Chains A and B, each alone.
Chain A
């Protein structure tokens, strides 16, 4: 977990940019093998990585701060939905490495492995070393089913974290908060953060000024995407109430292997597509789980839409494309 500060961060929230962002967020059907997050006017903005790994035209200004979110690598998964998730992770890594401007940091929003096996962690760790920046992790529920209930994850990726793996850090004037909602499961309930973590969060935020952009990342969506499938966090509202006073809050999650976004006031919610396999849209199958698509279409499902901010234009340009 590195800590950096940079005066480049503009902490003024630009209303016009917020309006554009809302327009952009209406386009919820885009997805990519990786998501490029870029800070503009103090507001993190999401862009899909271009199919050839290049950044969207006009997005990366010299010196701009940007970061990457990848999620749900599921190393060890071998089923027909994608027998080679390590290969698609490598493709994602290659795209990140092909960016003209390397990201300042990378977030992995959990389910690094499929079954928390040591060899799965080994493979993931080796592959992810090829990324060009520090990776900040949060665990998924697939990462803590070892005998030690998350011990292997914490040993490898959670050093210096608190509790079950939560922590915060600052980079380029942005306050990043990693939350863990993949443990303390109760039968019949959605994910929970728990009182201890919520208390830590409240304490952590006391030192953060209201004008500081905040990025919260956790594996399971902090908002309720679809309760019958457990796609939500029961005490997520308590997090949101702590964050409502801040000018810019972006919440990044994984778990559902598809992009869904919404904006509530100052808070942007975003779930990323995984690097491994697709899942059904909420409620559009008997159950969640790996979605088998024809092999030749897999990368179409993992396809992406570029969202570009063309230099000299205020509006965002959205271009759908695929990895096929």
Chain B
């Protein structure tokens, strides 16, 4: 029993180490038909947000502030970009290929 408990502790530590938080989530945003789906996402520090481009057109993911907290390279079809949320805040982002494409990431 003691042995099993120790193994569980090791496993738990590994999970925390890998994700930064035992409760960290992977969140996916699909880029399709020149839209971010969903266009607003609520996440927590440690969560990984992954954008996947399903359009034939390339897109990119650029946070709009001067700091550009996250900014992807050009994503061709089926390319993806992942950002791990660190600080709380509201992050508006857009695609510079198609600036009418906008999205919002809320980290709290």
Please give the residue numbers on chain A whose beta carbons come within 8 Å of chain B beta carbons, in ascending order: 79-81, 114-116, 141-142, 145, 147, 185-191, 228-230, 286-290, 292
**CB pair A142 B33 closer than 8 Å:** no
**What residues of chain A lie closer than 8 Å to B92, measured between beta carbons?**
187
Q: Is the interface of B mostly helix, strand, loop or mixed?
A: loop
**What residues of chain B lie closer than 8 Å to A142, measured between beta carbons?**
58, 97
**CB pair A186 B99 closer than 8 Å:** yes
Distance A98 CA – B61 CA, assembled complex (angstroms): 43
Distance A292 CA – B76 CA, assembled complex (angstroms): 17
**CB pair A185 B96 closer than 8 Å:** yes
**CB pair A185 B99 closer than 8 Å:** yes
**CB pair A141 B96 closer than 8 Å:** yes
Kindly identify which residue among A189, A230, A289, A292 contacts B55, using a CB–CB cutoff of 8 Å.
A289
B53 to chain A, nearest CB (A): 11
Q: Give 20 CB contacts A-B under 8 Å.
A: A114-B58, A115-B74, A116-B74, A145-B74, A185-B94, A185-B96, A186-B64, A187-B64, A187-B93, A187-B99, A188-B100, A190-B100, A229-B98, A230-B99, A287-B33, A287-B55, A287-B57, A289-B55, A290-B56, A292-B56
**CB pair B97 A145 closer than 8 Å:** yes
**What residues of chain A lie closer than 8 Å to B102, measured between beta carbons?**
187-188
Distance A289 CA – B73 CA, assembled complex (angstroms): 19
**CB pair B77 A79 closer than 8 Å:** yes
Top 4 nearest A-B pairs (CB, nearest first) are A187-B94, A287-B34, A185-B99, A287-B33
**What residues of chain A lie closer than 8 Å to B84, measured between beta carbons?**
none
B38 to chain A, nearest CB (A): 17
Task: Tell me if B44 is interfacial: C-beta within 8 Å of chain A.
Answer: no
**What residues of chain A lie closer than 8 Å to B73, measured between beta carbons?**
145, 147
User: Which residue of chain A has its CB nearest to the CB of B100?
Assistant: A230
Distance A230 CA – B96 CA, assembled complex (angstroms): 11
